[in-house]
Amino acid sequence: MKITDIEAIACVWPPPENHFWTSFRPIGRVSELIVRVHTDQGLVGIGEAHGAGMPFPGIYKQNADGSLEAEGASRVVVDVLKPLLLGEDPLDNERLWENMFRLNHQRGWATAGWGRPQIMTAIAGVDIALWDLKGKAADMPVYKLLGGTRNTVPCYITGGYYQEGKTISDLVQECETYADMGYNAIKLKIGGVSVEEDVARVSAVRQALGPDMDLMLDVNEGYDVPTAIRAARLLEPLNIRWLEEPVHWYDRVAGLGQVAASTTIPIASGENAVHRWDARDLIMQGGVKVMQFDCTRNCGVTECLKVASLCAMQNVRLAPHHDPQIHGHLVAA
């Protein structure tokens, strides 16, 4: 089987009518990069890369007249990765991944207008499409190819975003709706108001939903280290499943390690990890106990399998970030 063509499609949804935000940014447009890898046997693999709700890492750009067009990672797929992969056997995913990853330390990408974020996201979309091709060639879902240890996986719902005029009662009602839908785990956004206000918000949800509901908290890197430690200690009595990305981006390894050593709440991080070496540092130095590596943002399934092996060696739970239609296969394996 040989690769005959590769397509990249930038999908952009309009921003929500009702504005909401995390600790540091509003949630705007949602963007995804769809990759289709065609073969001489008629099989087509479909991959998906996550745009993080923003043009970065460059899935699309908005022109002066307001129109949108493919850019960044979308162009890397067609202009850089496609010529590299045409004629190759799509089942050789490890070798093809290494060839694509090698672009990160070769001349040319900077002068071409691409950066590593765009390359890594493009690799993610292509690699996931190659795994989809493997599954189609074998006539089985990818989770079966990876071992298929289970056919159901645990899930949670994310909510509790900040909105203008949203009260604690509104938050509780929102979470009660999630419970009525059948969810037994809810992740709430915190870090956008004072620590005391957030503790009151989480306490109200815990009191309303009882001790059996798993609650996870996502700070989106909104605290400095002292504030993160203070918040964690105030939240400990509320039986929190994990505290996610509690420390500012510039201190997300050493600072995270200080927080992890100062609280009984397990620390989660990894959605911004670019590769296995980032994941290694978060685990070994950052004290992370829940790894949230996102293969749709960086590197694809091939790299995530290496991160999963690292997690298994260190007794760290893998709970991938975003896009469950992709990551569900990894969790099921």
Residue 244 a catalytic site member = yes
Residue 71 a catalytic site member = no
DSSP H/E element including 145:
helix 142-145
The strand pairing partners of 12, in sequence order, are 31
DSSP H/E element including 202:
helix 195-209
Residue 303 a catalytic site member = no
User: Among 38, 50, 189, 327, which one carries the catalytic annotation?
Assistant: 189
Write out the two tokens for 195: 């620590």
User: What is the rounded CA–CA span in Å between residue 165 and residue 146?
Assistant: 46
Q: What is the gyration radius of the CA atoms in the chain, in angstroms?
A: 21
User: What is the rounded CA–CA span in Å between residue 137 and residue 44?
Assistant: 10
Residue 69 a catalytic site member = no
Residue 91: which of 304, 329, 302 has the closest Cα?
302
User: Among 71, 198, 294, 303, which one carries the catalytic annotation?
Assistant: 294
**Torsion sign (Cα): 51, 54, 57, 63:** positive
User: Among 32, 71, 221, 244, which one carries the catalytic annotation?
Assistant: 244
User: Among 32, 218, 245, 303, which one carries the catalytic annotation?
Assistant: 218
Residue 264: which of 292, 244, 235, 291 has the closest Cα?
235
Residue 196 a catalytic site member = no
22 contacts: CB under 8 Å, gap ≥ 6: 161, 162, 189, 191, 192, 218, 220, 222
Contact 51, 33 (CB under 8 A): yes
**Torsion sign (Cα): 278, 280, 283, 289:** positive
**CA distances for 63 relative to 4, 30, 69, 115, 208, angstroms:** 32, 17, 8, 20, 47
Residue 264 is classified by DSSP as S
User: Among 271, 275, 303, 327, which one carries the catalytic annotation?
Assistant: 271
Residue 174 a catalytic site member = no
Terminal CA-CA length for the chain = 26
Active site residues: 189, 218, 244, 271, 294, 321
